[in-house]
Amino acid sequence: VSRQAATTARQVLAAMTDAVIENEERLGRMDAVAGDGDHGTGMVRGMKAALSAAQRAEHSGIGSVLRAAGDAFGDRAGGTSGILWGILLTTVGVSLGDTEAVTPERLATALRDGAETVQRIGKAQVGDKTLLDALFPFVASLESAVAERRPVAQAWAQAADEAVRAAAATANLVAGIGRARPLAERSLGTPDPGAVSMGIVLTAAADALKA
């Protein structure tokens, strides 16, 4: 069991939690444009629960830490994004496991597994104006940076920038799925809150990996 990777995962989750707390109101306002306004509170509840579960999973490897975090996120956040974020964290944890070293390649594969599982369960397509519109560009960018042999912190930072850009670009989309759908037209001009929070959280993770 690699303690170092699990410790890094806890530090990343702590940074993600701070970032959603900082952006709670903004995400809520964004969700209120065409949704029910609870995205900020949901992300904060989920991330706080994920972080405490990760901290409680004291003597575990990274896989167990992320699985515990994902289970807690899904249980506590409420809402569609909470379930999908729970699945994302859990899948990344299952993919990484507890015993093998976390190489940049295995990290990229784990994130690819996570994104594909979220898509399979949530049944949204890229372009439906969801968090997938930030997550898939993140994964693609991470994979190419890893293929270019960038150090992991640098690869992740480059990919997070791509996620933030892609999230902002969802302003031009009309929601195709989820709660925003009945008010889809109203969402034009406003980015998808789940995509924006994805960019925020992945950027916070990048900063934690750099530190």
- For binding to ligand ADP (CB under 6 A), which residues are involved? 31, 35-36, 38-39, 42, 79-81, 84, 122-124, 130-132, 177-179, 192-195
* Amino acid in position 150: R
**Would you tell me which residues interact with Mg ion (CB under 5 A)?**
31, 35-36, 38-39, 79
Q: Find which of Mg ion, ligand ADP, none residue 177 binds, CB within 5 to 8 Å per kind.
A: ligand ADP
Helices (H), the chain: 3-22, 24-34, 39-56, 62-77, 79-96, 104-122, 132-147, 152-169, 193-210
Shortest distance, position 116 Cβ to ligand ADP, whole Å: 12
Identify which of residues 107 and 132 has a Cβ nearer to ligand ADP in the complex. 132
Q: How far apart are the first and last CA of the chain?
A: 23
3 state SS for 34-75: HCCCCHHHHHHHHHHHHHHHHHHCCCCCHHHHHHHHHHHHHH
Phi, psi of 179 (to 5 degrees): -65, -25
Q: Find which of ligand ADP, Mg ion, none residue 57 binds, CB within 5 to 8 Å per kind.
A: none
Shortest distance, position 185 Cβ to Mg ion, whole Å: 18
Q: Find which of Mg ion, ligand ADP, none residue 81 binds, CB within 5 to 8 Å per kind.
A: ligand ADP
Shortest distance, position 95 Cβ to ligand ADP, whole Å: 19
Q: Find which of Mg ion, ligand ADP, none residue 132 binds, CB within 5 to 8 Å per kind.
A: ligand ADP
Question: What single-letter DSSP state applies at residue 123?
Answer: -
Shortest distance, position 177 Cβ to ligand ADP, whole Å: 5
Q: Find which of Mg ion, ligand ADP, none residue 124 binds, CB within 5 to 8 Å per kind.
A: ligand ADP
Q: Find which of Mg ion, ligand ADP, none residue 84 binds, CB within 5 to 8 Å per kind.
A: ligand ADP
Question: Which class for 101: exposed (0-12), middle (13-18), buried (19 or more C-beta within 10 A)?
Answer: exposed
Shortest distance, position 81 Cβ to ligand ADP, whole Å: 3
Shortest distance, position 92 Cβ to ligand ADP, whole Å: 16
As a dihedral over the C-alpha atoms of residue 137, residue 203, residue 26, residue 179, rounded to 10 degrees, the angle is 30
